[in-house]
């Protein structure tokens, strides 16, 4: 009962908060944007025959993971060098 009332009040307050956004006209994408997406999809379909996109995404994820780990390591070492007693 109490949680239902809290969720109801939260829902009402969010609804009131988003009323100005609901009054805005509907957003539409320009036709150039949709044609660019279609063209990119055609290019990716050609690449998919040579190298599957799942493999490409895994390679990209591994690369970002390794680079992120190196960055975090360098950042932690930089922080440790800034502490005078650990030097």
Report the sign of the C-alpha dihedral through residues 68, 74, 75, 80, in that order.
positive
Q: How far is CA 2 from the centre of its chain?
A: 35
Burial of residue 54, with CB atoms counted within 10 A of its CB: 0-12 exposed, 13-18 middle, 19 or more buried: exposed
DSSP state, 29? Answer: -
- Best CA proximity match to 56, nearest among 46, 48, 67: 48
pTM of full prediction above 0.95 = no
Q: What is the pLDDT along the chain (87 residues), one digit of tens a residue?
A: 889 999 999 999 999 998 888 888 887 888 899 899 999 999 888 888 888 888 888 999 999 999 999 999 999 999 988 887 765
């Amino acid at each position: 009962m109490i949680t239902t009332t809290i969720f109801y009040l939260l829902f009402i307050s969010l609804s009131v908060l988003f009323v100005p956004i609901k009054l805005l006209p509907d957003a539409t994408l320009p036709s150039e944007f949709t044609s660019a997406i279609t063209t990119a999809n055609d290019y990716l379909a050609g690449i998919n025959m040579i190298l599957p996109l799942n493999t490409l995404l895994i390679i990209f994820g591994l690369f970002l993971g390794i680079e992120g780990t190196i960055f975090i390591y360098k950042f932690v070492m930089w922080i440790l060098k800034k502490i005078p007693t650990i030097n």
